[in-house]
Amino acid sequence: MRTDSPSEQPFPSSRENMLASYKQAVERAISHLPVKNGVVGIDSIWIETSLPYDILRELLKRDDLVLPDNVERINLKSRVKQGDRRGKQQKR
């Protein structure tokens, strides 16, 4: 007897496939980035991969992310200045 129920299919979802591909890209990018005192910043990874911050942050918090030997941790605090969102005009 065959069951073709979607919940019993062994194939990962498209989101899981996407995250797996992004995870590999992030791991490759980290190995090419400059490391300062064992730390790589999220901004450097973002510049290298161009992934949206929310996806990048989700990937960097995963336990299965493989880091190079010279990277002890990833700094998740961004230094990219968030623009003024209140609608004020900037002085020139």
pTM of the model: 0.71
Confidence bin at 78 (pLDDT 50/70/90): confident
**pLDDT, position 11:** 72
pLDDT of 76 above 70: yes
CA separation for the pair 49, 10 (Å, rounded): 30
CB-side exposure of 41: number of CA atoms within 13 Å? Answer: 9
CA separation for the pair 36, 58 (Å, rounded): 23
Q: Where are the domains of the chain?
A: 15-75
The residue that leads in pLDDT, 17 or 5, is 17
Which residue spans within 1-92 are E strands per DSSP? 39-41, 73-75
